[in-house]
Structure 1
Amino acid sequence: MANGTLQLIGVLIACAGGLCTMVSTFLPDWRKNDPSGEVLESIIRHQGIWIRCISYPTGTWQCDDYDTFFIGLPQSLQIARGMSICANLFGFIGFLAAIFGLQCTTCIEGNQLVKNRVAMASGGFFLLSGVCIGVAASAFSHQILNEYMRFSNIASADIVGQRFVFGAALFIGWTGMAVTLLGGLIIMCGSCGESSPVTRYQRQSVRRVASLGRSVSMSFRRGRPERKQDPGEYV
């Protein structure tokens, strides 16, 4: 039997993960420069997947976007953009499907089997959303790690200042991945089993009526007297 409470808990958890995914996507802090090698350590350069910013000690920010939307960007940035868009899209579709599939809603009440399948699809879309944001954050962090290790082996002081470290958006993205995956799994677990207790009772009633009908039919056939042929009848 589908568990409406478990479904609702899973949707709430998945929506929290979707919120983290959205914040991570648009936050301009996927990576930031390592200020230990900078001349002015108070100036921080932040880079997101959509815009790049510089923060000054006075609290002001100066931001600009990238020159191109997709073509010509580094491969890690292309993957991060594409997977982040898919993550938000899948999360939105999963939320819409949850509205129709949850047991606590009045949508599709006439067909509980379809309602459970829609809820299962909702959990699947949330799982895809978590996987996509996880791939985006992991691919971007892999590029940061490779550049950091490469620049750390260069002794030139002019290059040391170009090292970047993980930004807050990456950790928010990984958190969104874990929470969204957990929510999607809970939704799918809550949607397993029979469609509803009423449907199961109806099936049992139909089986009992059919069995009773067969028993009555067999009893009637066994108790019916055999017809004797009248000698006066023509053969």
Structure 2
Amino acid sequence: MANGSIQLVGLLVACAGGLCTLIATFLPDWRKNDPTGEVLEAIIRHQGIWIKCISYPTGTWQCDDYDTFFIGLPTSLQIARGMSIVANVLGFFGFLFSIFGLQCTRCIEGNPLAKSRVAMGAGACFVGSAAAIGVAASVFSHDILTEYNRFSAFSISETVGQRYIFGAALFVGWTAMAITLLGGLVLICGSCGESHPVSKYRDSGVRRVASIGRSVSMSFRRGRPVKQQDRGEYV
């Protein structure tokens, strides 16, 4: 039988991962410039998948949108945007299905098999969300690493302001992937074991009929009178 406590733990963990996914999606720090060799190393240029910003030593930020929404952007940025959207959509549907599938809710109470399957579907959505944000962060980081290695062949003076390193959003994205994946798997495991609810009720009915039969046979053994039907009733 499905374990409601395990399901609830899985949902809470997956929701924490979903929150990290949402934060990683909108953080403007997927990559930042390597300030090594620059005159003003405190000025950092950050780039997210939706906006790009410049942070100054005074603590102020100046942000601007990209010129285009999707077409014309680098391939890694397009993949990161698309997969991050997929990750958040799947996370939303995973939470929505959990409301109907968890044992602690009153939805679909009359059909335990369907309720268990809905909960497993919620866990699958969370697993898909984890995979999507993981792909987004990994593809974007691969592009950063490729460019960094390409510029490493030149001297530092020639690559000032051109080399970029990993930003905080990438690490938040990888953390979101791990937490959401764990929560989704726990939710799936907590929803297993309710595969034959009909046979359970059928067996209980058979046992009830058998107990009634035994009680009737015991009444005959004790010599209780049996009502004789009058033949005139059939005339």
Matches within 5 A, 1:1-235: 1-155=1-155, 157-194=157-194, 201-208=200-207
Once the two structures are superposed, what CA deviation does each residue of 1:148-179 show, in whole Å capped at 9, x if it has no partner?
Answer: 11111112613232111100000000000000
Partners of 2:183 and 2:74 lie apart in 1 by 32
Specify the code of the residue in structure 1 equivalent to 2:193: G
Specify the code of the residue in structure 2 equivalent to 1:94: G
Q: Relative to 1, partners in 2 of residues 1:156 and 1:174: Cα closer, same or farther, differing over 3 Å?
A: closer
Partners of 2:9 and 2:195 lie apart in 1 by 19
Partners of 1:17 and 1:99 lie apart in 2 by 17
- Alpha-carbon distance, 1:203 to partner: 2.4
Specify the code of the residue in structure 2 equivalent to 1:204: D
Contact 1:29 1:168 in 2 (8 A): yes
Contact 1:86 1:129 in 2 (8 A): yes
Report percent identity of matched pairs.
Answer: 70
Tell me what 1:218 maps to.
none
Using the size of structure 1 for normalisation, the TM-score is: 0.86
Contact 1:31 1:165 in 2 (8 A): yes
- Alpha-carbon distance, 1:39 to partner: 1.6
Partners of 2:156 and 2:42 lie apart in 1 by 21
Tell me what 2:231 maps to.
none
**SS of 2:107 mapped into structure 1:** coil
Partners of 2:168 and 2:196 lie apart in 1 by 44
Partners of 2:188 and 2:110 lie apart in 1 by 21
Specify the code of the residue in structure 2 equivalent to 1:203: R
- Alpha-carbon distance, 1:202 to partner: 1.8
Gap runs ≥5 in structure 2: 213-235
Contact 1:194 1:200 in 2 (8 A): no
Contact 1:14 1:179 in 2 (8 A): yes
Q: CA RMSD in A?
A: 2.2
**SS of 2:29 mapped into structure 1:** coil
Partners of 1:153 and 1:161 lie apart in 2 by 15
- Alpha-carbon distance, 1:191 to partner: 0.4
Contact 2:8 2:187 in 1 (8 A): yes
Partners of 2:176 and 2:199 lie apart in 1 by 38
- Alpha-carbon distance, 1:38 to partner: 1.4
Using the size of structure 2 for normalisation, the TM-score is: 0.86
- Alpha-carbon distance, 1:110 to partner: 1.1
Partners of 1:32 and 1:138 lie apart in 2 by 16
Partners of 2:17 and 2:62 lie apart in 1 by 30
